[in-house]
Amino acid sequence: MKLEGLSRSLGRWLDGTGPVSDIVLSTRVRLARNLGGVPFTHRAREEQLAMVYSSILSAVRKTPALSQSIALEMRDLSPLDRQFLVERHLISNDLADLSKVRGLLVVPDESISAMVNEEDHLRLQALASGFQLRSAWEAVNTIDDELAQDLDYAFSDELGYLTACPTNVGTGMRASVLIHLPSLVLTKQIGRVLQGITQVGLAVRGFYGEGSQIMGNFFQISNQTTLGQSEKETVDSLERVTKQIIESEQRARDELLKDARVQIEDKVWRAYGALRHSRVISSQEVVNLSSAVRFGVALRIEGLASVQTLNELLVRSQPAHLQIAVGRELEQRERNILRADYVRKLLADGGSFPVANN
Amino acid sequence: MQCEICGKRPAVVHFTEIVNNKKSEYHVCEKCAEEKGYHVPLVKTKFSVGDLLAGMVDQPGSAEESRVGRVQCPKCGLVYSNFKETGRLGCSECYPTFRAQLRPLLRRIHGSTKHVGKTPIRDAARVALRREVQRLHEQLQKAIEREEFEAAAELRDRIRTMETSGVPPQPEVGAP
């Protein structure tokens, strides 16, 4: 199995050590780049895409910070392996979907990765734990500079980095935070907050980014525009708005606690109880119940789980993760039983990773 | 991902249906979703270029639209009407080719038509800089050996400026 290493380790972005990680799960900054002289992925011929892949691979090998990267060509991976990478936020559904020469390059701790021949030839991303936009931007910026020494990027002085979709042209940058807002949802203020976000030129998406559902009170907030603003300005403005959202979440939380502390605690503990003792559980249930427990952790209720354990739960209880952990494909019914088993063990041990023997 | 119904447009509406405990997932384009009456979620998750373009360029079916729609990129062969359907350009040459049509669109999307962010550090410039710095280092070494300290100080300053500014040297007249 190609993903052995990744399935045993857990990305550094999930370790729960980043700033404000009880509210902001992770920070991501990605840059879209294309190679000059080659049509964009959807118009390129097979051999051109193969050339793009090998040029990027060789540039990556020469970049010290990426020299340890694992290279995964999508064609060599099973649908299950690809689903695993989607669950891990390392590739998009689009990259997993098609059968062209597409690949993923990822450093072992998952802090930096690159999708090759997705919508654009190169999608370089930095993924960090908690709320750390600036350092994620700096990490991806440095690597972009190094790669530019070897790769001839499609660039125009007027329009910046040229991308397949005009919504990305310019900086080609999408900076985002994955933020957990249970109090704003519970107090029904979330609609107003989300509306405010879109009015200042930011976008709100679901758990897996573009086109995905909102679940477990997680929202992905990102910049919408890529022209007319420098990367630094974009990052600063997203940072400012995110801070305001964190403050409204905290205010809403205080209100809730003042009016209904016992009811909230009851909700948190019931959710914990269900996770801790269930025998059959769907991944949607895990997401929703662990959202309530995460809320409890943010409220400083003692005796629950660590943020890292909750992050681990969220990712490792997903269908492909479970199946790769046991080394075979499972029916949904079997998965729900195995998942309950796994969730119980994880919460009991507080983090160690059980691998089933069957 | 393509729409599961028409198979032409990209799928932008994703939803899960649960009937009698049986879960089914659907991935369809906006148009088919609307036609089938599928509920489109409150928060619009996809920035649709098709939406932006609709109602922007002329009246549908007008002579002007069909003329603009036939403009073709000389490099990759993409015609403008194809871009209107998919929202994807074909190559970097499409940008100057469809410049007139893209400008109002970019202004709508971004509120601007000018890049103000970073610039790639081109290989050629780097290499030229590195080579020039190396050449000056050699000259510096020689100057020191010959005990020409004034010349050495000048060379050292030039190297420093070049290294900190990162600007490649101008072609030098009468360089040895």
CA angle A137, A138, A140 (to 5 degrees): 65
* Spans of chain A below 70 pLDDT: 1-2, 4, 96-99, 207-214, 350-358
The per-residue pLDDT for B23 is: 64
The per-residue pLDDT for A311 is: 92
Do B1 and B36 belong to one domain? yes
pTM of the model: 0.77
Q: Is residue B66 part of a domain?
A: yes
Whether residue A118 lies within 8 A of chain B, CB to CB, comes out as no
pLDDT at B164 over 90: no
pLDDT at B17 over 80: no
| Contact yes or no for A162 and B15 at CB 8 A | no
Do B93 and B131 belong to one domain? no
Q: Is residue B72 part of a domain?
A: yes
Q: Does B69 or B116 have the greater pLDDT score?
A: B116
The per-residue pLDDT for A354 is: 44
| Contact yes or no for B117 and A231 at CB 8 A | yes
* Preferred mutation among A38, A159, A193, A221 to probe B, highest tally of B CBs within 10 A: A159
Please state, in angstroms and rounded to a whole number, the distance separating the CA atoms of residues A8 and A149.
34
The per-residue pLDDT for A54 is: 95
Q: Is residue B6 part of a domain?
A: yes
How crowded is residue A192: how many other Cβ atoms within 10 Å of its Cβ? Answer: 11
Among the partner-chain residues A39, A149, A150, the one whose CB lies closest to the CB of B90 is A39
Percent of chain B at pLDDT exceeding 70: 65
Q: Is residue B138 part of a domain?
A: yes
Q: Closest Cα of chain A to B112: distance in Å?
A: 5
Q: Is residue B170 part of a domain?
A: no
pLDDT tens figures, A169-193: 999 999 999 999 999 999 999 989 9
Do B96 and B129 belong to one domain? no
Of A248-257, B101-110, B122-131, the one with minimum mean pLDDT is: B122-131
Residue of A nearest to B13 (CA): A211
Do B69 and B89 belong to one domain? yes
Q: Does B174 or B72 have the greater pLDDT score?
A: B72
Do B99 and B130 belong to one domain? no
Q: Is residue A356 helix, strand or coil? A: coil
Q: Is residue B49 part of a domain?
A: no
Domain membership of residue B147 as a residue range = 121-165
Do B105 and B132 belong to one domain? no
Do B31 and B71 belong to one domain? no
* Preferred mutation among A83, A149, A218 to probe B, highest tally of B CBs within 10 A: A149
Task: Tell me if A31 sits within 8 A of A162, measured CB to CB.
Answer: no
What secondary structure does DSSP assign to A61-107, as a single string?
HHSGGGTT-EEEEGGGS-HHHHHHHHHTTSS-HHHHH--SS-EEEE-
The tokens of B33 are what? 């979703």
Do B106 and B127 belong to one domain? no
pLDDT at B174 over 60: no
User: Which of chain A's residues have a Cβ under 8 Å away from the Cβ of B45?
Assistant: 204-206, 210-212
Of A258-262, A331-335, B143-147, B167-171, the one with minimum mean pLDDT is: B167-171
- Strand ordering across the sheet containing A24-33: A70-73, A103-106, A112-116, A122-129, A24-33, A173-180, A218-223, A202-205
Binning pLDDT at 50, 70 and 90, where does residue B172 land?
very low
Do B104 and B137 belong to one domain? no
Buried-state track A212-243, b at ≥16 Cβ within 10 A, e below 16: bbbebbbbbbbbbbbbbbebeebbebbbebbe
End-of-domain residue from the set B110, B132, B151: B110
Please state, in angstroms and rounded to a whole number, the distance separating the CA atoms of residues A269 and A267.
6
User: Which of chain B's residues have a Cβ under 8 Å away from the Cβ of A223?
Assistant: none
Q: Is residue B16 part of a domain?
A: yes
Do B18 and B38 belong to one domain? yes
The secondary structure of residue A48, as a DSSP letter, is H
What is the CATH classification number for the domain harbouring B30? Answer: 3.30.60
| Contact yes or no for B43 and A194 at CB 8 A | yes
Q: What is the ipTM of this complex?
A: 0.86
CA A199 to chain centre: 24
Q: Is residue B157 part of a domain?
A: yes
Binning pLDDT at 50, 70 and 90, where does residue B132 land?
confident
Do B67 and B100 belong to one domain? yes
Domain count, chain B: 3
pLDDT tens figures, B55-90: 454 445 566 667 777 889 999 999 999 998 889 999
Do B105 and B62 belong to one domain? yes
